[in-house]
Amino acid sequence: MAKVLNKASKQIGVTGPVLTIVMDGVGLAPATEANAVSLAYTPTLDMLMSKYPTVKLKAHGTAVGLPGDDDMGNSEVGHNALGSGQVFAQGAKLVSQSIENGKMFSSSTWQKVVSNVKANNSTLHFMGLFSDGNVHSHINHLKSMIDQAKKEGVSKVRLHILIDGRDVGETSALDYILPFEEYLNGLRDNSFDIKIASGGGRMVITMDRYEANWKMVELGWKTHVLGEGRQFNSAAEAVEAYRNELKVIDQDLPPFVIAENGVAVGTINDGDSVVFYNFRGDRAIEISKAFDDKKFTKFDRVRYPNVVYAGMLEYDGDLHIPSNYLVNPPEITNTMGEYLASTGISQLAISETQKYGHVTYFWNGNKSGKFDDNLETYIEIPSDVVPFEQRPWMKCAEITDKLIECLESGKYACLRVNFPNGDMVGHTGNILATRCSMEALDLQLKRLLEVVDKLHGVALITADHGNADEMYECDKKGMPKAGKDGSFKAKTSHTLNPVPFIIYDNYYSDKYEIKADNGQFGLSNVAATAVNFLGYEAPCMWDESVITLK
């Protein structure tokens, strides 16, 4: 049965396009020395916040399907909620539930992984982001799998750790490595050989996304699989050495290999099993392709071991990547894109490479491809492969150029765009670069709104989570915390702050009222609002619109 939107009995009568603008990583926070958004010169955003209806949206925790309200939101779950109009239990919660109820360890994939190494007297490898940031992974999930592997008689385990410093403190690596080594010491005995084998910063090796930089994945392959790279006695030694020599933060640490007597302790070989334990898909797909695809050609793997490879989840449900996974992903249904396509409404999605998958794959409920090739256009502006703080404007001008062309074409009734600046530059911890990124974005907002007005359209301006709004570690009141030397410590992770939802409309405001904002709204309320402006009622399973039609 086609999922068609019903015409609303009361019509706003918008004659132009309805444009949703996602200012990635731009949250609402006190105007302090930590807030790159408020510190930046942003006359357009300031005007919008003062003159137009603005609702605060929750963008973290249970409002986006995460386990608790101490869990920061992220772009993946944020775009799931924006695009589906609903809240679904997400990766971290799904994995935790599967471990707690035992389903993970009774799954055919887990049994396949374990039985393979026991039958071959080989090694079980775990690879993934090594922190409790709970955005891509959680260290407790890793511990649970290690404990279970020992319980089931696995004799040899090797760990390949991707250092975070992005979803957690920028120099917190040793806070995870040192206690984890103590944990391993407590497990290790004559029948259980377990060691950290390799690692490196998450923005240097392995965890590329959207095929922006396959060199990262190749470097990860050489490090984890082939055991090639600078050798150290321990992960802690590697982190300390690189910090002292290069003065880099954790996410930018070069790769390292743990060796004994000059020999890498954990290369990946025929007969081994490998579990990539990230639950979030975007930065797990490329390394999964390298392990899963026999005809892989993106780089020379040199040696392609015959292993049983499994992901924590199925990272791409349409392309079935990887072929083995431990936990079933959420089934996100009845999305906005599907309903608009079935109703015959033309759509455009655009961003640069870094967030292209968010306005397409994640927006559509973790679905690759389109619902209707004739009604949907997806445009990717290639991202620069340079450190974001060196070019903080990123591709916002080029995105805007193309988006204006599409708006003026008259082909699209409903458009969506993601500007990655506040998030990607915010993650660097560089507050000056992040201010610059916000100023560049503000210039593009001005350009877009002029065109929206010319076409008698409406713009819905929001964000998927906070980041640029809190560039230093802050106290509960949002004030930056000074260290013993009086300096502030950079914060590179997302924030728990709400995000703005601004309704930019200069023609139709007499046709509706904004509902009272009592803290009840989240990202999932945007979809219903958008279809109301398009002249339709929201499906019954979506969360309510923030407007009431008169």
Q: Which pair of structure tokens corresponds to residue 327?
A: 């936990």
* Measured distance CA(290)–CA(294) in Å, rounded: 8
pLDDT in the model for residue 135: 87
Is position 379 within any domain? yes
Residue with the two structure tokens 């891509």:
136
Confidence of residue 413 (pLDDT cuts 50, 70, 90): very high
The verdict on 158 and 199 lying in the same domain is yes
State the Rg of the chain over Cα. Answer: 24
Least confident of 31-40, 103-112, 312-321, 361-370: 312-321
Is position 526 within any domain? yes
* Measured distance CA(82)–CA(307) in Å, rounded: 38
Q: Which pair of structure tokens corresponds to residue 125?
A: 């490898």
Residues whose CB is less than 8 angstroms from the CB of residue 352 and which lie 6 or more positions away in sequence, other chains included: 380, 381, 382, 383, 394, 395, 398, 399, 420
- Domain tally, the chain: 2
Is position 101 within any domain? yes
Is position 23 within any domain? yes
pLDDT in the model for residue 318: 58
Name the residue with higher pLDDT: 145 or 281.
145
The verdict on 155 and 72 lying in the same domain is no
* Measured distance CA(313)–CA(92) in Å, rounded: 10
The verdict on 278 and 159 lying in the same domain is yes
The verdict on 307 and 222 lying in the same domain is yes
Contact (CB, 8 A) for 459 and 419: no
The verdict on 203 and 58 lying in the same domain is no
Domain boundary among 310, 327, 344: 327
Tell me: the pLDDT tens digits for 223-270? 999 999 999 999 999 999 999 999 999 999 999 999 999 999 999 999
Domain boundary among 275, 306, 327: 327
Packing angle, helices 336-343 and 526-533, rounded to 10: 20
Strands 325-327 and 156-163: unpaired
Confidence of residue 316 (pLDDT cuts 50, 70, 90): confident
Confidence of residue 484 (pLDDT cuts 50, 70, 90): confident
pLDDT averaged over every residue in the chain: 95
pLDDT above 90 (res 64): yes
Is position 424 within any domain? yes
User: How many Cβ atoms from other residues are within 10 Å of residue 120's Cβ?
Assistant: 15
List active site positions: 75
Is position 9 within any domain? no
pLDDT in the model for residue 532: 98
Residues whose CB is less than 8 angstroms from the CB of residue 100 and which lie 6 or more positions away in sequence, other chains included: none
The verdict on 55 and 137 lying in the same domain is no
What would the mean pLDDT of 342-369 be, rounded to a whole number?
Answer: 95
User: How many Cβ atoms from other residues are within 10 Å of residue 405's Cβ?
Assistant: 11
Residues whose CB is less than 8 angstroms from the CB of residue 62 and which lie 6 or more positions away in sequence, other chains included: 68, 69, 87
379: β partners: 350
Is position 266 within any domain? yes
Domain assignment of residue 26, given as a range:
19-88+331-549
Name the residue with higher pLDDT: 485 or 303.
303
Is position 13 within any domain? no
What would the mean pLDDT of 385-390 be, rounded to a whole number?
Answer: 94
Contact (CB, 8 A) for 307 and 338: no
Tell me: the pLDDT tens digits for 450-479? 999 999 999 999 999 999 999 998 887 788
Q: CATH no. for residue 135? A: 3.40.1450.10
The verdict on 70 and 96 lying in the same domain is no
Tell me: the pLDDT tens digits for 95-152? 999 999 999 999 999 999 999 999 999 999 999 999 999 989 999 999 999 999 999 9
Name the residue with higher pLDDT: 398 or 367.
398
Quickly list DSSP for 87-105: ----HHHHHHHHHHTTHHH
Q: Does residue 322 have a cis bond before it (omega within 30 degrees)?
A: yes
pLDDT in the model for residue 533: 98
The verdict on 195 and 269 lying in the same domain is yes
The verdict on 352 and 383 lying in the same domain is yes
Torsion of CA 70, 71, 75, 76, to 10 degrees: -150
The verdict on 263 and 305 lying in the same domain is yes
pLDDT above 70 (res 1): no
Residues whose CB is less than 8 angstroms from the CB of residue 12 and which lie 6 or more positions away in sequence, other chains included: 508, 511, 512, 532, 533, 535, 549
SS3 363: coil
Share of the chain above pLDDT 90, in %: 88
Strands 308-313 and 325-327: parallel
Quickly list DSSP for 311-355: EEE-SBTTTTBSS-EEEPPP---S-HHHHHHHHT--EEEEEEHHH
Distances in whole angstroms, Cα of residue 537 to Cα of each of 358, 531, 548, 549: 25, 7, 11, 10
Tell me: the pLDDT tens digits for 511-532? 999 999 999 999 999 999 999 9
- Cα end-to-end distance, the chain, whole Å: 31
Tell me: the pLDDT tens digits for 295-310? 999 999 999 999 999 9
Task: From 372, 371, 362, 376, select the one nearest 317 (Cα to Cα).
Answer: 362
Q: CATH no. for residue 374? A: 3.40.720.10
Q: Which pair of structure tokens corresponds to residue 321?
A: 């990547």
Residue with the two structure tokens 């992005």:
166
Q: Which pair of structure tokens corresponds to residue 504?
A: 């930019």
pLDDT above 80 (res 409): yes
The verdict on 405 and 464 lying in the same domain is yes
pTM confidence score:
0.77
What would the mean pLDDT of 400-418 be, rounded to a whole number?
Answer: 98
pLDDT above 80 (res 317): no
pLDDT in the model for residue 487: 85
Least confident of 45-49, 157-161, 320-324, 496-500: 320-324
The verdict on 309 and 224 lying in the same domain is yes
